[in-house]
Amino acid sequence: MTTDVLIAGAGIVGAAIAAAFREEGGKCLVVEPHTVGGGATAAGMGHVVVMDDSPAQLALTEYSRRLWDALPVPPSVEREHRGTLWVAADAEEMAEVARKHALFPASEILDERALYEAEPELRPGLAGGLLVPGDSVVYAPTAASWLLRLTPVRYTAIESLTPDGALLADGTQVSAGLTILACGTGITRLLPELPIKPRKGHLAITDRYPGFLRHQLVELGYLKSAHGHSNESVAFNVQPRSTGQILIGSSRQYGDESPDIRPELLSRMLRRAVEYMPRLVDLQVIRTWTGFRAATPDSLPLIGPVRDRVWVAAGHEGLGITTSLGSAALLLDRLLGDTPAIPPEPYLPERFA
């Protein structure tokens, strides 16, 4: 069979690319071995957040957030603009608040009292925080299926890449003008040379407690714990869902490729959350799960060509929901020869060649 663009992966990134390319009239085919939005897309929190680990990360997340805001998503996507509240535990973290404030337009510095007014369930004794009102949360699996609503999805795996496309696991030969691999950690099966490693995470979700939590809360120590490359870390990160449920994270681990829950790490993650929000202990946890982020050495995704007629969009680590739209836009601009809204160079895979 023949298609203009063959996309591997029906996660949020593949779906965003399919939607962007379709809009330009291209014929797309998405190949997915499991379920639409069923991998890291379903495992994550769906936080659309601006992050400033590096200037390139700031550029891509900010651009992507703008694209999310412009996207007319249906109610099933459960989008809510709660705003991120970065919580500072001490003076050192308040200095970080000041630094971020300068970078994030429309952000607001909260002192100790304003912090409690914003989130009364936080424990006393915290220093303050930074409110970033533009950040939002979406339910990513339905976002993926909505983005794919007009694109055919074939439920099978890519067996191998061929000179003019791909051989599918169901035996079909697909000839494609362009093949884009957007299959997260699964990408190294097809392109083992890419520096992408799975970084496991745990999450828990509670029953419905409307009003318990108002913003997406992240500890500023997150920077130290989560973006350090230590083997195992946890951080306080809780987010309200539109249902009133509360998502509780987060953990990061290298070197554990089993999807099983690690009870000790789950407990450590929950203890961290309770340190910030003591009354979480009374909430009913209804589910816990794990997922795998596709991590790169520099915490930036790989977006662009890797071979003749083979492009990739992978390695978004914990920011795949946010940066899916920006990634798709960069690839579309490249295809059309348009000038991209942000410089694409920091994300080109060739940086690791």
Partner 1 sequence: MPSTLVIGGGPAGLAAAWAAVQTGDTVTLLDDNPALGGQIWRGEIPSRYRRFLDPRVTVRTGVQIHSAAQLPSADRIILATGTRERFLPFPGWTLPHVLGAGGLQAMVKSGLPIAGKRVVVAGSGPLLLAVAAYLRKRGAKVLLVAEQAPYARVAAFTRSLWRQPGKLLQAAQLGLGLRYRTDSWPLRAAPGSVTLQGHGVLPCDYLACGFGLVTNTELPELLGCKVESGAVITDSKQRTTVPHIYFAGAGSVDRSILEGQIAGFDLERARALYPARDAAVRFDRLLDETFQLRSELNTLATPETIICRCEDVPFSAVWQQRDWRSAKLQTRCGMGPCQGRICGPALEHLCGWPAASVRPPIFPTRLENLLDLRE
Partner 2 sequence: MIAVLINGRRIDVEPGTTVAAAVMRLQAGFRRSVTGELRGPLCGMGICMECRVTLNGRPHERSCQLLCAPGMEISTDA
Binding site partner of 160, from partner 1, partner 2, none, Cβ cut-off 5-8 A by kind: none
> Per-residue x/- marks for partner 1, 116-155, CB under 8 A?
-------------------------xx--x---------x
> Per-residue x/- marks for partner 1, 20-59, CB under 8 A?
--------------xxxxx---x-----------------
Q: In terms of C-beta distances under 8 Å and separation of at least 24 residues, what long-range contacts does 184-189 make, across chains too?
A: 184/9, 184/11, 184/13, 184/39, 184/40, 184/292, 184/294, 184/314, 184/316, 184/320, 185/40, 185/292, 185/293, 185/294, 186/9, 186/39, 187/8, 187/294, 187/312, 187/314, 187/315
Cα–Cα distances in angstroms (integers) from residue 32 to residues 29, 65, 103, 126, in the given order: 10, 26, 38, 45
Smallest distance from partner 2 to CB 76, Å: 15
User: Which residues between 276 and 305 bind partner 1 (CB under 8 A)?
Assistant: 280-289
Binding site partner of 263, from partner 1, partner 2, none, Cβ cut-off 5-8 A by kind: partner 1
61 interacts with partner 1 by CB under 8 A: no
> Per-residue x/- marks for partner 2, 217-256, CB under 8 A?
--------------------------x-------------
Nearer to partner 1, 35 or 54 (CB): 35
> Per-residue x/- marks for partner 2, 261-290, CB under 8 A?
---------------------x-x------
Residue 115 contacts residue 94 (beta carbons within 8 Å): no
User: Which residues between 182 and 221 bind partner 2 (CB under 8 A)?
Assistant: 207-209
Q: b/e for 42-60, b at 16 or more Cβ within 10 A?
A: bbbbbbbbbbeeeebbbbb
Binding site partner of 261, from partner 2, partner 1, none, Cβ cut-off 5-8 A by kind: partner 1
Cα–Cα distances in angstroms (integers) from residue 304 to residues 2, 4, 187, 307, in the given order: 22, 17, 14, 10
Residues in the interface with partner 1 (CB under 8 A) total 33
Smallest distance from partner 2 to CB 208, Å: 8
Q: Which stretch binds partner 1 (CB under 8 A): 168-176, 201-209, 224-232, 334-342?
A: 201-209
Smallest distance from partner 1 to CB 84, Å: 22
Q: Phi and psi at residue 38, in whole multiples of 5°?
A: -100, -5
CA angle 163, 169, 170 (to 5 degrees): 115
Strands 153-154 and 28-31, by their bridges, are parallel
Token pair in block for residue 30: 């998405």
Cα–Cα distances in angstroms (integers) from residue 128 to residues 51, 85, 161, 237, in the given order: 19, 10, 52, 16
Token pair in block for residue 281: 């202990």
With a CB cutoff of 8 Å and minimum separation 6, the contacts of 102 are none
Smallest distance from partner 2 to CB 260, Å: 24
Q: Interface residues with partner 1 (CB under 8 A)?
A: 34-38, 42, 141-142, 145, 155, 204, 206-207, 248, 261-264, 266-267, 270-271, 274, 280-289
Q: Interface residues with partner 2 (CB under 8 A)?
A: 207-209, 243, 282, 284
